[in-house]
Structure 1
């Protein structure tokens, strides 16, 4: 009986736990290697509005809900609450703008469909990369679809839960949450709470979320992900509305004539960082943090760096001043470290909270401390896949201490510790929770142990989790057993999880079926996984459908490309490269590489050599791909380094040959015979 390789097991477990690992070795060399599906992560924004149409008097209902749910001391009506109060960001200042701190709205292509979805009711999600304008677009849709209806803005998960439980009329209501991740705590939004809110289908729940945060949730082991993230996986695709960072030429051409009186808008349209990010000073904010000089800049930027690292470590709440003060010396640059004549922490915080161009600031003061701007945290998380400064060691014990007693914060820190390759801290958090009987923590711990190839312990904790009823634990337990006893044991537990509605293992179940020659069963599992939102299963299904000459494969592949699935982007870019569409290929492959695809890096090296003859750029791409385990890149890198660095060339050639790459084996034999 075939045994599952350690690499497949690790890959699948991470997929099953929401880490969205890429598809590997699909039919007929459609894809050369498996890469971890990662996508940056940075800053979830959430929006909800709750409208109460009171049959017996609005004032009575308002008094009742504020007493019982304490959602908002001053609930308003849609259209009466200002855009700034609903979370729309202040735009950069311009002395020539006539429209004030919030520019004129430029319509997006999804506006009509979004408005109709809000009008129909239910859960509606507006998502996009970074500050793309999601909040503004959602606010406009709500104002157009539900003007005059009651509006509620719960401040956190507790208030949201109380609102869902309050016996108030729901017909025609809208619930609005700002920054969705704040509402996914242990007592916050989950499928059950959402069902209670939307039992009356005329109630509209409107949310916005950053793609970086969606990726972070999906890439985190499920047991460490914030509770309530099943809301994202359980929502049908027609409820998702994506906002692009850049305005399309058609959207810009359709802009109102008055936009010509606001120079900010045209500048934002052409800005390299994107329309929304330019308007809210994203680039200028990064420059303020990273570029400067003098003692005040040294202290202020160090405090910002400390707060950013706390967020990267998974702390969702504010960082107290005393913690920032403890971390300050570790973030001061060498010329300033140890000096006693520096500005005070208060001075540094004043610098860090100064608004840039009249819009955002690096740090935001909130009750209990300071929050780092998501416009800073997001880009740093996006770069975390590449070599760069890790979260400093001193941060982990401090955020751990701050999160003590808060399971939601602890799970968030554990999940981020995995992303930051600090599995020691992830295990330190998860093990006590697992030993206390938390089945999901046991599944998380088993996942960590699988990643570290500690198979016996992984099997033990997977067994405990599975027997306690965790479907994630069933998946991990089955996959860990598969490393020792073959695919049959893995299949039994993956099927058990699937019967309980968890199709995270659908991709592997399809691969097992293919390994025994059952294409029909493989197609069935991949189709079920695709329908459940499992992107790897959907990608495998698309390639299988292409093999079967089913033209519907193109639609699936296109949907995956639009969803920024890294392997689909890589496949699409490689095909464009083979077809001679080099410009398109380069753009798509760069998107795939930015989302963690090692194979895309390899193809970018091929692109550099074939279209530009740029060996230096090819070396950069292939070296990074080789260091991340891409075997063909090792061979290509060895060939390019033959003359420039024979010693390094031999190292990569031997490594590729040891991994069984045929061309490397042949070349190595030739070199030995010289």
Structure 2
């Protein structure tokens, strides 16, 4: 042994020789252990040890130090026979304190938590797996001691399945669950002489193999199973493959292995649905190949990851994109969504900042990354389609206190569902109606307005009117405008006026216009009554209304009535009437009176009547730059000027520009011009374009049925 020490550890050998060369300690030195006094001297050849009592030990001999007394430091090699007794200071496990299998708390023994729901226990009830019988059979096999390993991918449900198997197969058996890295060599001694069976629970078997020399190994396994202990362990497939490449893999040859698949079968999902827990039901319906266990365990971690990403220094755009997918799903657009739709929606979130810090590609890559190797926040599909993780949608739909979906998102969802047959329009409408109804019942006037708009879009006018009225009473001026329009269409002008005025004063231009039309009609009525009663001012004003509408003859009658009453202020209006009807001399007479009465507007008109001020040249009036006219309709009007002047090619160019600007009359004029040129087929095409844009004359030219014309 000394020769080996000298060869392999020369420094230790030199230290040992130096210590041995010192003289023995004085007699009477206190012994540190009972036994004979040993003084050590190493002989010159370095291969022998001479003790104080004269005994000589040569290389290869064994010196028993256990009963010796040492007066100097000693370096030696001691071989210890393993008895698996506890080290001093470390208490023995007490089997009587171990829980029985039926009382083991799953969360305390490796089962991962899931979403908490008020009124429900922390974990859902166990949903039976197809392999349960195999686990129980392995645990109840005839042999006394057993080693059962439940194998599977991460988040496949290994731990819950194994614990349930123990609880059902041996409910009253006590279970010992050592901590990670805990020395297991003490167990044979602790359990020696105890006739009752015990279970050793080793969740994640691989971490219990290298416990500083005190982990599970074949000899210890044989001792435990020989004493009737049932060892139950879980093991990830990756760890299994790694162990098979090491010496520890020999243990797996001694195990009864039961494999748990991650994906759940139809029967397993059916049993989960019937378990009476909303979390299991959601998981059974919405989990994919990752399986119910992964859905329940990874889901809460996905939620936390998404929530934290909102910060400006993390992934704000990624957070917003996921939120857009969730919100659209909450609206009823279930299934993959096009990327451009997520992009459009996520940019509208005013409460999410710093989007510009994260490029779109980076945000999508972050959201599509699988968390824990199982689930991403956004599931990518073909052709740029994305879908939010179902767990996130379920939490938002089932949980309380989450923000409501923005109105702009609802608008997008309803529009998409209406135009894209890939989505269930009816489902989206009903989802929207229910969401708005809940908010309306809570007093949300905006929700009342949205219910009215939704009903109106579906042709439900009675329902729409009722919600518009309730929303208007709740202070929604937009609803007042809508209600005013509906009342106007029904002829209830007096009631409509109040709502239209409310909306107009709030800035509703359409309501203001409609109110103006209502008041204009009412003005005609009452000015007519005043004119009939002989009030000259009423006759004058009514004449102006008639003239502006092109009712020249009726306007002239009202002007004459005012003149008969000696109302001189009507002079300018009479002059304008004469000017418009081509009576310049008559116009000059009336306008001269008005000018001499101080009417500055009449002064300009008088110059026109006298020929001193020429009217605008048509080409100058309608002309513009090369790219278009000053007003949308001018291109068509200028084309008509060109046509009258015989410039048909130029006219056609201007008509086509007018059509491009959205003027149906431009398309109609193209058709007329082509028809004049004998190009009837081309003319029909343009009549059809004009008719599709709503032009009445084009529809008439097509016989009232644009669809009969072939392009």
The TM-score with structure 2 as length reference comes to 0.29
The TM-score with structure 1 as length reference comes to 0.31
Where relative contact order (Cα < 8 A, 6+ residues apart) is larger, the structure is 1
Q: Between Structure 1 and Structure 2, whose CA radius of gyration is higher? A: 2
